[in-house]
């Protein structure tokens, strides 16, 4: 039997930027342009990229790889494939063992046998892991500060969901926090960031639109820095 071409899509929440439909459209257009037949599509909905555990469709796809049945996997971004360095590198090693290509549209990766490409994958995987860790640490610092000042309540901090007394990362909000940090570093004002968030369908924990004041609170609480451009309006 001929080996399969598979598409992989992952979303934690159905956001405008990384929605299932958006990813599928990009992947299908790529395959049409390259005249590739699509044999299987694997979609993990509501799953974090921080671990392969619990990602049923991803694991089903990798089982097919280990059965020698897959020629190539196509995904929109390396972050869709994995946000954990070790998981990413282990998965890539498995793909190489079974001569399965990984094609990543955003990062323009088309070969796992190019040393520069592998270096790029390793660096990106490390960056994704670092970003997740930094935001998690900042949030813990904020909570500890509130505890010391008797400010802790039952409110769940943005970037997390609460299950009992345990905070679980909300990947959509984590992605949003990373975006806020990058925009702030680029010198964008609170209003600029607020407009971007509302335009792209992001909301606060209560489901309301952001204001420049709520954006400012997020920036200050997490210590997001702005690059000094000399002439940027910061507020």
DSSP secondary structure, 133-193, as one string? HHHHHHHHHHHHHHHHTT---SPPPTTEEEETTEEEE-HHHHHHHHHHHHHHHTT--HHHH
Q: Is residue 159 part of a domain?
A: no
Strands 101-104 and 70-75: parallel
Tally the domains of the chain. Answer: 2
CA distance 72 to 192: 40
Burial class of residue 87 in the structure, from the number of CB atoms within 10 Å of its CB (0-12 exposed, 13-18 middle, 19+ buried): buried
Neighbouring C-beta atoms of residue 194, cutoff 10 Å: 21
For residues 100 and 186, state if they share a domain: no
Would residue 146 count as lying in a domain? Answer: no
Last residue of a domain, one of 93, 112, 131: 112
- Given 85, 112, 139, the domain boundary residue is 112
105 and 196 belong to one structural domain: no
CA atoms within 13 A on the CB side of 75: 20
Q: What is the bridge-based pairing of β-strands 166-169 and 160-163?
A: antiparallel
What are the structure tokens assigned to 126, written together?
Answer: 């490390």
pLDDT at 172: 87
What does the pLDDT look like over 155-209, one tens digit per residue?
777 888 877 667 788 888 888 998 898 888 888 888 999 999 999 889 888 888 8
Is there a single domain that holds both residue 89 and residue 179? no
Each residue's pLDDT tens digit, 188-202? 888 999 999 999 889
What pTM value is reported for the model? 0.55
Q: How far apart are CA 151 and CA 7, in angstroms?
A: 47
Tell me: do 100 and 177 sit in the same domain: no
User: What is the C-alpha to C-alpha distance for residues 149 and 25, in angstroms, rounded to an integer?
Assistant: 49
Query: Which tokens go with 24?
Result: 């599928």
- Facing residues of 167 across strands? 162
Asked whether residue 108 falls in the same domain as residue 187, the answer is: no
Position 133 in a domain: no
pLDDT in tens, 19-70: 788 889 999 999 999 999 999 999 988 666 556 677 889 999 999 999 999 9
The verdict on residue 149 lying in a domain is no
Question: What local confidence, expressed as pLDDT, does residue 14 receive?
Answer: 42
Is residue 106 a part of any domain in this protein? yes
Q: Cα–Cα distance between 37 and 30 in angstroms, integer?
A: 11
Q: Of 112, 130, 162, which residue is a domain's last? A: 112
Residues 181, 104, single domain; the answer is no
Question: Is 105 found in the same domain as 9?
Answer: yes
- Same domain? For 105 and 198 the reply is no
CA–CA dist 175, 19 (Å, integer) = 13
Domain span including residue 32: 4-112
Residue 135, in any domain of the structure: no
Domain-located, residue 124 = no
User: Residue 12 is part of a domain; what is its CATH number?
Assistant: 3.40.50.1390
- From the list 95, 74, 90, 65, the residue with the least C-alpha distance to 29 is 74
Q: Is residue 141 part of a domain?
A: no
């Amino acid at each position: 039997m001929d080996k399969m071409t598979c598409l992989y899509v992952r979303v934690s929440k159905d956001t405008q930027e990384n929605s299932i439909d958006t990813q599928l459209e990009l992947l299908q257009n790529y395959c049409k342009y390259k005249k590739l037949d699509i044999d299987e599509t694997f979609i993990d909905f509501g799953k974090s990229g921080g671990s392969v555990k619990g990602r049923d469709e991803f694991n089903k796809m990798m089982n097919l790889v280990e059965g020698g049945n897959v020629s190539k996997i196509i995904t929109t971004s390396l972050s869709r494939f994995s946000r954990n360095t070790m998981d990413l590198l282990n998965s890539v090693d498995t793909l190489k063992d079974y001569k399965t290509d990984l094609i990543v549209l955003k990062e323009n990766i088309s070969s796992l046998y190019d040393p520069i490409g592998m270096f790029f994958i390793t660096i990106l995987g490390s960056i994704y892991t670092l970003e997740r860790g930094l935001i998690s640490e900042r949030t813990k610092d904020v909570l500890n500060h509130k505890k010391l000042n008797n400010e802790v309540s039952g409110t769940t901090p943005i970037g997390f969901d609460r299950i009992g007394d345990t905070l679980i990362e909300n990947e959509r909000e984590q992605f949003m926090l990373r975006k806020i940090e990058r925009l702030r570093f680029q010198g964008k004002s609170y209003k600029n960031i607020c407009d971007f968030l509302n335009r792209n369908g992001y909301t606060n924990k209560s489901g309301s639109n952001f204001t420049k004041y709520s954006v400012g609170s997020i920036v200050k609480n997490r210590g997001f820095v702005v690059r000094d451009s000399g002439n940027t309006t910061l507020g």
